[in-house]
Amino acid sequence: VAEKPFQCPVCHKGFKRAWELLSHEVVHTEARPYTCHLCRATFKRHSDFKSHALVHTEERPHR
């Protein structure tokens, strides 16, 4: 069983690495710092923003 020494103080989810906890903590805030300049959709996580951006390209057409 993998040890997860970094624990979220809000939901108590455990993480192996400190940066994973820091990345997770944004889900407990209202901040949505990433905005799509094409459709104005907003996102809490950069990774979600990057995935969304593909709907505006031929790589992943909008359905």
Cα-based angle 57, 40, 54 (whole degrees, multiple of 5)? 20
Average pLDDT over residues 13-23: 96
CATH architecture entry for 1-29: 2-Layer Sandwich (3.30)
Give yes or no on whether 1-29 and 31-63 have one common fold.
yes
Q: How many CB atoms lie within 10 A of CB 21?
A: 18
CATH of region 31-63, choose from 3.30.160, 3.40.91, 3.40.50, 1.10.8: 3.30.160
**Cα-atom radius of gyration of the chain, to the nearest Å?**
15
- Where does the pLDDT of residue 2 fall: very low under 50, low under 70, confident under 90, or very high at 90 and above? confident
pLDDT at 58: 72
Q: What average pLDDT does the structure give for the chain? A: 91
- Where does the pLDDT of residue 57 fall: very low under 50, low under 70, confident under 90, or very high at 90 and above? confident
Judged on CB neighbours under 10 Å (0-12, 13-18, 19+), 26 is: middle
Domain residue limits, the chain: 1-29, 31-63
Contact 4, 14 (CB under 8 A): yes
Percent of the chain with pLDDT strictly greater than 70: 90
pTM of the entire predicted model:
0.66
